[in-house]
Amino acid sequence: MDWLAEFPSLGKRDLRDLKKGIDGSFREWSRSNGDAIEAFFDPLYFFLVWLEKLLIATPWPIILIIVAGLAYIGSRSWKLALGSVVSFMLIGYFGMWKDMMATISLISVSTLICIAVGIPIGILMSRYDRVQSAITPILDLMQTIPIFVYLLPVVMLLGIGRVPGLIAVCVYAIPPIIRLTNLGIRLVDKEILEAADAFGSSYRQKLFSVQIPLALPNIFAGVNQTIMMALAMVVIASMIGVKGLGMPVLQAVQNQYLTLGLMNGLAIVALAIIFDRVSQRYGQRLQAHRYGKEHE
């Protein structure tokens, strides 16, 4: 009865050969194609570096003015704008200015990429049920697979540095914007779509003048989630050489520097709160028409 007690498996030797085979061929493939793939991502790398350098080179008062301006434009709240400026000043005062600029440039670029890639995918999903049923499981996979598992092949292909970090952040952060774009468009009132059809709208006209505007609050909730998830990835991304607020946290974990970890951790939290509140307020203002409020 031995065969009942032990689950029938492939056998140690076969299994080892299988793993070795796959590892070997992937390594070979990445060696021969790694350069080409790296070259493909070069523009991204240059843009990232350029933005980071720009942010660091810009005099800090100008950055503060821009931060206050953006926060106010997004939220229409003086309190939030003031709070953002104070947070930035505190973070800078405690010596984390450069790291913060690096993190902000990473978050901005990854959010832009997620929006540029995610919204069109979401639109396609909302239009074709087949696309939806093909992409949904991929999104499920992206959201549940342990991050280190896909970090590994990315590092094997591209080495360590900003670009693989950026890709890892994007893989982790893109699902919400895709899902919420799809959902938002599908939730648009059927009767309004029928009216648009009855007046002879083309698909394009319906998409841009009815579906997307009405889905905007949801799409924006997706953008907000994407920013939050990108921020959450900052520490993990630092493991593969991404500079920023995550790096000191990692050092702190490895060397038991309690204060260093706490300071940088709190800086990340402050950034997260600012991004979240400003983008949420902005999203709420997008649906002002639903409550019969005056528009600006």
CB of 162 to other proteins, least distance (A): 39
Region near other proteins per CB under 8 A, out of 19-27, 75-83, 199-207, 250-258: 199-207
Nearer to other proteins, 49 or 288 (CB): 288
296 contacts other proteins (rule: CB under 8 A): no
Return the residues of window 255-294 that contact other proteins according to CB under 8 A.
289-292
Name the minimum Å distance from CB 221 to other proteins.
Answer: 17
> What would the x/- binding string for other proteins be over residues 152 to 191, using CB under 8 A?
-------------------------------------x-x
Minimum distance from residue 280 beta carbon to other proteins (Å): 19
Does the protein bind other proteins through residue 295 (CB under 8 A)?
A: yes
**Residue 192 interacting with other proteins (CB under 8 A):** yes
Distances from the Cα of 170 to the Cαs of 113, 155, 227, 265, in angstroms? 7, 15, 10, 21
Minimum Å gap between C-beta 213 and other proteins is: 5
Per-residue mark of binding to other proteins, 206-245 (x: CB under 8 A): ---xx--xx-------------------------------
Contact residue for other proteins among 5, 36, 198, 258 (CB under 8 A): 198
Q: Which of 37, 73, 197, 269 binds other proteins (CB under 8 A)?
A: 197
**Burial class for 9, CB neighbours closer than 10 Å (0-12, 13-18, 19+):** exposed
Smallest gap from residue 184 Cβ to other proteins (A): 13
> CA–CA separation, 139 vs 257, rounded Å?
37
Binding positions for other proteins, rule: CB under 8 A: 189, 191-192, 194-202, 205, 209-210, 213-214, 289-292, 295
